[in-house]
Amino acid sequence: MTDHHNMSQTPAAPGWYPDGSGGQRWWDGRGWTDHTAPAPAPALNNLVERPRLPEGARIDTVWVWVVSLATLVTALPIFFFDFSGYMRAVMDAEVSGSTATLSGAITGYMGGVLLLTALSWVAWGFTVFAAYRDYKHLASIGVVRPFHWAFAFIPYTIVYLIGRHVVLRKVSRTTGWPLWAHIAGYVLLIIASLVWSMVMVQSMLTEFVSR
């Protein structure tokens, strides 16, 4: 225990002080009490160290590319969906009062929606599995505490890719191509969707006015 005599000659403020046995004892400003406590745990920053990976370590495998591109690829079928045909059938039914072709258009529309929904769920599940395999690969090449694969359950793939890139930048010189490819693909998908929508609406309006 810390020397009682020294503490009494220069009184210290009340608080916990080392007692010489690896623990702490409470000093009330006048004397030692019977209250003891374990020594404080070391700071977490000192416990978690990520050593640099050796040069040439293969960081990006096929699994991270699946994470990067799977959800984008499954969105492509929407551009082949005949949405204008469905809207044309709806407008024809409104103008003519006949629903002869409307039921077929609705069936096709619902079938397309169900197909896209199923594809998105399959892509999401496969992305989670690919993130798990990528996580195990990074751990196997020496990455200490890789960004956890469970973040891939969040339906925004970019969350896992950004977290992964932040961790890897601490241990390697990775350029982060899977992350940048995902961002570029997402931007292109948004632009293509806007152009496709405008072309489709313009075509429908032109056809409707010409009647």
Say yes or no: 18 and 78 in one domain. Answer: no
- Domain identity same for 8 and 66: no
Bridging pattern class, strands 15-18 and 23-27: antiparallel
Split into its structural domains, the chain has a count of 2
Residues 152 and 187 in one domain: yes
Does residue 135 fall inside a structural domain? Answer: yes
Residues 29 and 130 in one domain: no
User: Does 97 reside within a domain?
Assistant: no
- CB 92, CB 101: distance < 8 Å: yes
Asked if residue 78 is part of any domain, the answer here is yes
Whether 31 and 120 share a structural domain: no
Give the burial string for 176-198 (b: 16+ CB within 10 Å, else e): bebbebbeebeeebeeeeeeeee
- 8 and 76 inside one domain: no
Q: Please give the residue range of the domain that contains residue 186.
A: 62-83+113-210
> Residue 142 is which amino acid?
G
Residues 135 and 32 in one domain: no
Residue 47 lies in a domain: no
Full pLDDT tens readout for the chain, 211 residues: 555 445 545 667 877 788 777 788 877 778 888 778 787 765 554 455 788 888 888 999 999 999 999 988 888 888 877 777 777 777 766 666 666 666 777 777 788 788 888 989 999 999 999 999 999 999 999 999 999 999 999 989 999 999 999 999 999 989 999 999 999 999 999 999 999 888 877 877 776 676 6
Looking at the structure, do residues 66 and 170 belong to the same domain, yes or no?
A: yes
Radius of gyration of the chain (CA): 31
- Cα separation, 131 vs 31, whole angstroms: 58
Q: Is residue 98 part of a domain?
A: no
On whether residue 53 sits in a domain, the answer given is no
- DSSP of 5-74, one letter per residue? HHHHHSPPPSEEEE-SSSEEEEE-SSSEEEEEEEPPPPPHHHH---PPPPTT-----HHHHHHHHHHHHT
Position 28 in a domain: yes
Same domain, 31 and 67: no
* Same domain for 123 and 28: no
**pLDDT tens digits for range 127-142:** 999 999 999 999 999 9
